[in-house]
Amino acid sequence: MLHIKCPHCGLRSQNEFSYGGDGTVKRPDLNKEVSDKEWDTFVYLRKSPRGKHVELWHHISGCRQWIKVERDTATHEIFKTSKVNEDI
């Protein structure tokens, strides 16, 4: 079980969090013309890197904040965590 440092609450066990996937995805702005390809990439395509990956986690059984976690997907090493509005 991972040990994740919530930037709001401190070090907590993984079972307090839910996983939110790739943390680098940016939703196209509202009302903006978006090509099929661009939209398709946003909705469906995710990289699944082996190694460092910036992810979103949601501290659902804690402060209910979404946070960013930089994690190695192969070793589970967590390098850094940050609030979602901060650069990781």
Query: Which residues sit at the interface with Zn ion, rule CB under 5 A?
Result: 6, 8-9, 59, 62-63
With CB cut-offs between 5 and 8 Å by kind, which of another protein, Zn ion, none does residue 9 bind?
Answer: Zn ion
* Residue 84 near which of Zn ion, another protein, none (CB within 5-8 Å, type-dependent): another protein
Q: State in angstroms the smallest separation of the CB of 77 from Zn ion.
A: 20
Please tell me the distance from the alpha carbon of residue 14 to that of residue 5, in angstroms, as a whole number: 10
Rounded to the nearest 10°, the torsion over CA 10, 73, 58, 8 is 20
Q: Which of 19, 34, 51, 86 binds another protein (CB under 8 A)?
A: 34
